[in-house]
Structure 1
């Protein structure tokens, strides 16, 4: 029998889009792209690409993109999807090789012709996709596109290494460390460069490194990946146990390890809300520091903030309805934000929580250097002390993040 969970209403927390809500060129770009997918890609992969509904994401997250720019964005999104396919299920050595070839061909399509036994996706990049992207990006933004993708490809390699590491179900992770890492591995930073290109925002590297500007971008990235992790959880649970997902990582963090699945969704929503608040704080700080920037740069920063809102909101709008994630089983469930997990899926999700209890127990035993080296009374006292400290940390974390779920977890024991 299916178990039901309530997905938090993230859209209700978001600021509204300013101006276009979706690109007026959506239909034209979608029709051309879907034709290309079905005529060009292998059948199995074509079905996956169709289910991802990338034209919809492109039109929602880049609502000011022209038809040509949407086609270029779709070329990039397809290549990014291909990189995921070439690395997601492969050992680290193969993932590393594929990532290195991918970034080389992105920068120079002709380099793909020198690759021995190239992956079919590399052949497609060489033939058309890489040039389709570059032809629509102006020379100012192209170096930023390449630089952001070099960093992304490195993170894909790191993700492959971590996937192998965290297949060990006794491994401990922290939500904080995961958030720093996930900010880069989600692959949205290059998309922000493409967004600046479509909006004609010529922000140089020095401006982008400004502390407040970097904060604005980073907290927008956090909002995007947290929302993505929530909505993709069901799909990832079926794929690989959702190992690289914040909802699962909470079960490996001693501060959140005892939270049941619904409470983990709620806590993820609190982290999303916190990221949004920090994002808005950074936007306000830019407005207050107006004299720090020349008039042209200040105007571009204001429009960049609006573009980041489009990306945060557009990503959620797409996540709710696309057929790749299949968050909801029916329109009625979507309206009520009810996600259903099969008994097997729910068992796997709750198994993660039971594993986390095992991790905590092993940690306590290691800390006491083995139970047989202290008296039972002393050992029990240490366990009780550590449990109390962990509970207090959960309570403090709840207060800091204004999270009633964590606060209640402590108060209710």
Structure 2
């Protein structure tokens, strides 16, 4: 994560097009469109892919992330947050849109479904059946994770362990489908026996864990103010740690991720020069998913103003609301 990565040169032009398109599809007014522009999912994706893809491919990945964030928001803070039956029905509907025999859905009928189906049909034009299968598998895992997240709101943060939480959390951050999208973007296809090797899977898990841990730290202010209890930080607080001790604990978890990454590389075999080149490109990409999400977290308007994000990144100090006691409800801004 200490490496210098390169932003895709098409970022500015594609961001403008993608923001306008999603605002039109979702029927945003001027204020909503401006908020989406500040969220700037294009910024995040442009770090993932670096200089390795053209504007059209970058646009496909941005459109997917527009879908993912706004679809996911329904379960985080929207009308499906506590509606397990409604969440399951929505997920079944979304998964059905990946069926080749499903008729085209209109943007008027279901705007988010339209974006999801539209992006998948663009992917199908270039992705092999193997890569299409992998994408569908990772999307299904993500959606089932989101469903488990809705059900998890019945859980007590004082009784769950960090290991139990991370097993659950890995499915909810949408990083795995993005890994399949990177193969599409880079024009590679890792063979199944290679993608399933324990060393490569360990690197995937590290990338996902870094996204989850960074997010739980940098979105904590937003989570406290919105009443979201389930996070690494609150689990540690539930074990008797102060807020600062909990933040320090997440830092040690990040250090552990780095160690696991290098151990996985040490144990990774060679599959021959042709496949090894693809594996190296893939590893670079999944690391950049973690790093791009981190850079975006300081930049996006979802968690900080741009000036606040810059100061947090430079000083590594973050002003947080005083969280309520675990199991409490009152929020007092410090």
TM-score, structure 1 length as denominator? 0.71
Q: Secondary structure in 2 aligned to 1:37? A: helix
Does residue 122 of structure 1 match 2:122?
no
Q: Gapped runs of 5+ residues in structure 1?
A: 1-13, 356-413
For the pair shown, the structure with the greater C-alpha radius of gyration is 1
CA RMSD of aligned residues (A): 2.6
Counterpart position of 2:132: 142
How many Å apart are 1:107 and its aligned residue?
4.1
Counterpart position of 2:285: 307
Structure 2 CA distance for aligned equivalents of residues 251 and 270 of structure 1: 15
Superposed, which structure 2 residues align to 1:90-239 within 5 Å?
A: 90=80, 91-108=83-100, 110-111=102-103, 113=105, 119-126=110-117, 128-135=118-125, 137-163=127-153, 165-166=154-155, 172-239=159-226
Where relative contact order (Cα < 8 A, 6+ residues apart) is larger, the structure is 1
Does residue 27 of structure 1 match 2:9?
no
Matched positions, count: 320
Does residue 57 of structure 1 match 2:49?
no
How many Å apart are 1:326 and its aligned residue?
1.1
Does residue 263 of structure 1 match 2:249?
no
Superposed, which structure 2 residues align to 1:356-395 within 5 Å?
A: none
The structure with the greater share of residues assigned to helix is 1
The answer to whether the 8 A contact 2:179-2:286 is kept is: yes
Does residue 69 of structure 1 match 2:57?
yes
**What whole-Å deviation, never above 9, does each CA across 1:297-349 have from its counterpart, x for those lacking one?**
222222222222222211111111211111763744542233223xxx3142x
How many Å apart are 1:177 and its aligned residue?
0.6
Counterpart position of 1:364: none
Does residue 296 of structure 1 match 2:274?
yes
The answer to whether the 8 A contact 1:61-1:310 is kept is: yes
**What whole-Å deviation, never above 9, does each CA across 1:350-392 have from its counterpart, x for those lacking one?**
x22989xxxxxxxxxxxxxxxxxxxxxxxxxxxxxxxxxxxxx
How many Å apart are 1:121 and its aligned residue?
2.3
CA separation of 1:340 and 1:302: change in aligned 2, threshold 3 A: same
CA separation of 1:333 and 1:174: change in aligned 2, threshold 3 A: closer
Q: Secondary structure in 2 aligned to 1:184? A: coil
Counterpart position of 1:80: 68
The answer to whether the 8 A contact 1:83-1:98 is kept is: no
Q: Gapped runs of 5+ residues in structure 2?
A: 330-334
TM-score, structure 2 length as denominator? 0.86
Q: Secondary structure in 2 aligned to 1:141? A: helix
Match of 1:329 among 308, 313, 320: 308
The answer to whether the 8 A contact 2:298-2:310 is kept is: no
